[in-house]
Structure 1
Amino acid sequence: MTQRTRPTVAVGALGGTIAMTSADGTAVVPTLTGELLAEAVPGLETIADIRAETLAMLPSGSLDERTVLAALAWAKDAVDAGAAGVVLTQGTDTLEESAYLVDLFWDRPEPLVVTGAMRSPQSPSADGPANLIAAMRCAVAPESRDRGVLVAFDDEIHQARWVAKTDSMSTGAFRSPVFGPIGRCVESQVVYGVNGGGRPPALVAAGLAERLQQPLPRVPLVATHLGDRGDVLDLVAASHPDGVVVAGFGAGHVSAAMAEAVGRAAARMPVVFASRTGSGPTGRAMYGYPGSEMDLVARGAIAAGWLPPVKARLLLWSALCAGETDQLREEFTQRGAP
């Protein structure tokens, strides 16, 4: 009888709580390499042959676009060398952003799965091992192919485009508020409740490696608030960023005074507005008062659709990085839709 060959999965570690320990039993910091992280999880080696590597050793708040896109390049090299899938581990604070940034440029059919942990390995109820096993099973499942970048957490599988961290402490912190998870890990099996496909094509990454050696776009995120007169947006615009995203009320609304600031900024750079509510899209044609969605579009701003502010920012940043400045509105129309 021919012995069955296990698939190879590349595991890239970026740091985060899943890799944090403490020497004195108090506050934890990143210490575990990718190799040690993989070796510490019983049963992981029965799922796949693991090629683990440490890509960074950072808390997720210290990750940046350059580091995440370097991990993307590493992941592409891994599947080109024969890996059946890739797992990236990192801290949870920026996981929803890192996963979406990688998803925008991921043009391989092989699964790329991002995971992490809410509790450190030294915690009596550490969740990292279970999350890593779920991610590994997701990475080798044939049904995971052609689904883009996925997030495996608490035995649920989410699309990178819609997942969000919705709790600061719970092990069930990750949810897809609008459309829900697309699958689950049940009794060692990966089960999807929706068919694959329908994902927008990846952004063109030709020349991205060279682009990363140059100054990268600056795209700040400005949240509006009660009584906002646009002062902060004016200050931000005066610093000459490459674009800006405004997190607006409700379906993407702002005050009349803030709307004037949006118009001033939009005359100089791309301005995208998104909803700060955490669920639901920007409006299209419901309201017409100053500061409404129709008014902001008339002033030159771009609606983010269903994308929340942090992901609208990443799409704008990525499109600028890829040189797609003439198609920004079309990109948001396509990628901001379900």
Structure 2
Amino acid sequence: MTTPTVAVGALGGTIASTSSSADGSEVVPTLTAELLVAAVPGLDEVAAVRAETLARLPSPSLDEPTILRTLQWAQAAVDEGATGVVVTQGTDTLEEAAYLLDLFWDRPEPLVVTGAMRSPAAAGADGPANLLTAVRCAAAEGSRERGVLVAFDDEVHQARWVAKTDSMSTSAFRSPVFGPIGRCVEAEVVYGVPADRIPPLKLLPGHAGGDPRVPLLATYLGDDGFIVDSIRADDVDGLVVAGFGAGHVSASMAEAIGRLARQVPVVFASRTGSGPTGRAMYGYPGSEIDLVARGAVGAGWLSPVKARLLLWALSLGGPVPRADVAAAFELRGRP
């Protein structure tokens, strides 16, 4: 039996962090991909691993151009014969990086993202176990044609739905409503749903260096739309609003959204953490029906941060017509 080859690219994060303090505090990313791989017992029995350090950054310092360069590295690794690819990074932005990768991942081979909640020196460090699960997932035949996956705490999640739901717990990653699609049990990756994915977007020449400006705003009690009105349309490529409940905002903010939506795409999502934006339930000023009438687009089941990434990705080629934005969210914002 041929041993699968898995490429592991490291971006930094807690999984790669060490401390110079005696008490193990103040950790920073220092470890290379080779050191991460070497610390996982039994990894060489799962796959032949090719490790490469892509960056050593804390998760909040990652950005979209870095993730697109990671995408290109992963594509090259598959083109050079890798059965699958694993990317390790910090958890704070893991759900966003995984989704951005998923939007453009155009290979049948699996691309799996993982990380850790505890640094390597901490008692009960979870990095080695998560990396082992991720490599198993990347090497598994059943992982093909599923796009980008997130492997964490012996569970496998779709990049589109996974979210970091706890600031400290080692089981921080969950897929609200839809749940994980697979588990790693006794060294076997088992899936509970058939392979199915939405066709990826095309990353055209020059896109990898692009960086559209798409801010994300969360509404709040008493929000009068002042911040939305302070945004100059010439300074942004779009806006995503994290609204109350099913995507609602105040009447005053709805008016501000309408003014901006006449000039750039505006998308509204739900800030609740679970469930979709409404389609036809409420009709008051600031409701989903009202916002759509003013030109905004509902994000569907996508969380605000992922709605922002989709609008960002759509904007890489320049201004996007509202109809195209609506069509993209209709397709990608549904289960």
User: What's the TM-score bracket when you normalise by the shorter of the two chains?
Assistant: over 0.9
Deviations 1:125-179 (A, max 9, x none): 1000000000000001100000000000000000000000000000000000120
Counterpart of 2:60?
61
Q: 1:202 aligns with which of 172, 193, 200?
A: 200
Q: Distance in 2 between matches of 1:158 and 1:212?
A: 26
Q: Which runs of 5+ in 2 are unaligned?
A: none
The secondary structure found in structure 2 opposite 1:73 is helix
Rounded to whole Å, the distance in 2 between the matches of 1:34 and 1:121 is 13
> Unaligned 5+ residue runs, structure 1?
none
TM-score, normalisation: structure 2:
0.97
Deviation at 1:328, TM superposition (A): 1.1
- 1:54, distance to aligned residue in structure 2 (A): 0.5
Instruction: Tell me, yes or no, if structure 1 residue 10 matches structure 2 residue 7.
Output: yes
Kindly state the Cα deviation for residue 124 of structure 1 after the two structures are TM-superposed: 1.3
Alignment of 1:225-304 (within 5 A): 225-237=220-232, 240-304=235-299
Whether the 8 Å CA contact 2:65–2:209 is kept in 1: the answer is: no
What are the within-5 Å matches in structure 2 for residues 1-338 of structure 1? 4-24=1-21, 25-197=24-196, 199-207=197-205, 210-214=206-210, 216-237=211-232, 240-323=235-318, 325-326=320-321, 327-338=324-335
In 2: Cα distance, 1:323 partner to 1:263 partner: 21
TM-superposed CA distance for 1:323, in Å, is 4.9
User: What TM-score comes out, normalization by structure 1 length?
Assistant: 0.96
Supply the AA of the counterpart residue of 1:8: T
Query: Following TM superposition, where does structure 1 have runs of at least 4 consecutive aligned residues deviating by more than 6 angstroms?
Result: none
Deviates more, 1:244-253 or 1:17-26: 17-26
| Bigger Cα displacement from structure 2, 183-192 vs 4-13 | 4-13
The 3-state SS of whatever aligns with 1:55 is strand
In structure 2, what residue type is equivalent to 1:109? P
Determine if contact 1:115/1:153 at 8 Å carries over to the other structure.
yes
% identical aligned pairs: 70
Which residue type is aligned with residue 226 of structure 2?
D
Q: Which amino acid in 2 is paired with 1:333?
A: E
Going from structure 1 to structure 2, the CA distance change for 1:212 and 1:205 (only over 3 Å counts) comes to: closer
| C-alpha deviation, 1:322, in angstroms | 4.2
Deviation at 1:324, TM superposition (A): 7.7
Q: Deviations over 1:81-113 (max 9, x none)?
A: 000000000000000000000000001000000
Shift of 1:60: 0.5
Kindly indicate whether the alpha-carbon contact (under 8 Å) linking 2:18 and 2:121 is maintained by their aligned counterparts in 1: yes
Give distance in 1, aligned partners of 2:215 and 2:244. Answer: 18
Give, as a single letter, the amino acid of the residue that structure 1 aligns with 2:209. Answer: Q
Deviation string, structure 1 residues 204-226 (Cα, Å, up to 9, x no partner): 1121xx23335x21000010000
Q: Matched residue pairs, number?
A: 331
Secondary structure of the structure 2 residue equivalent to 1:291: coil
